[in-house]
Amino acid sequence: MKSSQNAGVATFSIRQITVVGVLTAITIVLGQSGLGFLIIPGLPAKITIMHIPVIIGAIIEGPVVGALVGLLFGIFSIIQNMMMPTPLSFAFLNPLVSVLPRVLIGIVSYYAYRFISLKYDSIKIGITAAIGTATNTIGVLGMIYLLYAAPFAELKKVDVSKVGKIMAGIAVTNGIPEIIAAVIITIAIVTPLKKILKR
């Protein structure tokens, strides 16, 4: 009986490790290939879908897996900004900007999914994806505002007092399309995946 229980624990751990590995690999491929950034006509900047594997991991395997995928996503973000720097890379080299919000995606997404009480699971998944995406957007932009308002203002050649409005504008113009994309993609992936894992 004891060995059977231990075997079950070992199998579950292997599954978690596999999920973390696969989702992290997907995140890296999305980032390296450019597929993680969608160009939407009319928007001033690309929108990202790179955070979606974190949300999927949290829904499928819980907050620890979600947070771990988010952690690895954040570390990858730091490495990417070191290897391919942009004018804003100075902010993303700080783990408080690039890592902490991504870890929170996994934790917040799990508890959102767990505590949303709705009959239809697809709607729960969609709301969770929206909340997880908002966590990423607000977390990253919020940390940049708190830590780098002055350098950001200098980069954009605006008065520092206008940084808050600029951040809010980015959150709306990019955040809403990112939420819509995340809801569609997450529902499309998680709904059949949960049915497969239940077999």
188-199 pLDDT tens trace: 999 998 888 776
Is it the case that residue 42 has pLDDT exceeding 80? no
Q: What is the largest CA-CA distance in the chain?
A: 68
> Chain-wide mean pLDDT for the chain?
89
Tokens of 2: 């004891």
Q: How confident is the model at residue 53 (pLDDT cuts 50, 70, 90)?
A: very high
Q: Which helix (H) or strand (E) holds 47?
A: strand 47-48
Indicate the CATH number of 21-198 among 1.20.1600.10, 3.90.1150.10, 1.10.1760.20, 1.10.10.60.
1.10.1760.20
pLDDT higher than 70, residue 35: yes
**Residue 37 — φ and ψ, nearest 5°?**
-125, 115
pTM above 0.85, yes or no: yes
Domain locations in the chain as residue ranges: 21-198
pLDDT of residue 5: 42
Q: How far lies 184's CA from each of 49, 52, 126, in Å?
A: 11, 11, 7
113 neighbors 125 (Cβ within 8 angstroms): yes
Measure CA of the first residue to CA of the last residue in the chain; give whole Å.
23
Residue 153 pLDDT level (bands cut at 50, 70, 90): very high
Compute the distance between CA of residue 141 and CA of residue 152 in angstroms, rounded to an integer: 11
Who wins on pLDDT, 3 or 30?
Answer: 30
What CA–CA distance (Å, rounded) separates 76 from 2? 40
